[in-house]
Amino acid sequence: MSGVEIQSFKVDAEYKSFKPARGSGGNARVRGGASGRTASVRGTGRGRGGGAARGGGGSTGMTRGRGPAAVQETIVLMYNKRKGLVTTHADELGRTTVYDDLAASLPPHLKRERWHAVGRLDADTTGLLLMTNDGTLVHHATQPGTKLPKSYLAVCAGPLCDHHVESLRAGVELSGGLGRSGEAVVEVLEHHHASSLLRITITEGKNRQIRRMLEAVGSQVMRLERVAVGRIEMDSQLEPGAWRMLTNAEVKRGLDYEPKTL
């Protein structure tokens, strides 16, 4: 199987578990916030936030200069989203958001940033969620013309026949009036009587798209985790709720975007 490396998953005999295999760790671990969760942090060696000047007038971000022309350094975090969190700044139902969860483990100089998720994950989907203080990067990564690939591991109900897999690859009619899905890369990693494990890569970002695609071929998602955005693969050593900072080189290569620097 060519392309990006696929994380190893273990599906138990009843196909109820969906756990990434963990490798040996080399990252520093720190405790953050009142939650006491462990955040895995890897810096860039550029001392981000350590002594950078901040603009006045209540601006949030590491800036240089004054007024509208001030330059803000691009910061991107790889965050491992836990199940049950919503990707919104404020939830009308009072549910915990990814921003609440992230803030609990951020050091003070990063808490002052205004964070934006690069795309969304629904509450039941786990895995890779990139967070940045750079609105231009969010626009670049999420606009349809960029066609940034996103890869997911999905455990779906029942076996999928070859016809269903080909339909997913070619495009299916999505519920909710969302039209047809575009072409997708679909790899069948495991095939069982009660479930199948797929890796699905899409370049669109329609609401609950993977779930709707599988529903269109008569199946249903049992577990769903995003494992890659662009050329950025989820770090298998990040526990749920943990994060690490991406280097500028990772951002440039992985997202085809030139980070802003001071």
Report pLDDT for 71: 63
Number of domains in the chain: 2
Same domain for 127 and 68:
yes
Report pLDDT for 262: 85
Which H helix or E strand runs over 199? Answer: strand 195-202
Token pair belonging to 21: 């295999």
Same domain for 111 and 37:
yes
- pLDDT (tens place) for every residue of the chain, 262 residues total: 444 344 444 443 333 333 333 333 334 333 333 333 333 443 333 334 333 322 333 333 333 334 454 568 999 999 999 999 999 999 999 999 999 999 999 999 999 999 999 999 999 999 999 999 999 999 999 999 999 999 999 999 988 999 999 999 999 999 999 999 999 999 999 988 899 999 999 999 899 999 999 999 999 999 999 999 999 999 999 999 999 999 999 999 999 999 999 8
Report pLDDT for 70: 59
Report pLDDT for 37: 35
Same domain for 249 and 219:
no
Residue 225 belongs to domain with CATH number: 3.30.70.1560
Which H helix or E strand runs over 227? Answer: strand 221-229
Report pLDDT for 43: 36
Same domain for 112 and 39:
yes
In a domain, 260, yes or no: no
Report pLDDT for 72: 85
> Quick one: CA dihedral 67, 68, 74, 79, positive or negative?
positive
What span, in angstroms and rounded, lies between the C-alpha atoms of 118 and 6? 22
Using an 8 Å Cβ cutoff, are 190 and 227 in contact? Answer: no
Residue 129 belongs to domain with CATH number: 3.30.70.580
Same domain for 123 and 243:
yes
Report pLDDT for 33: 34
Can you tell me whether residue 143 is helix, strand or coil? coil
Residue-range definition of the domain harbouring residue 102: 28-52+61-144+234-255
Catalytic positions are: 122
Same domain for 70 and 38:
yes
Residue type, 102: L
Same domain for 83 and 36:
yes
Same domain for 171 and 115:
no
Percentage helix, strand, coil, to 5, in the chain?
20, 30, 50
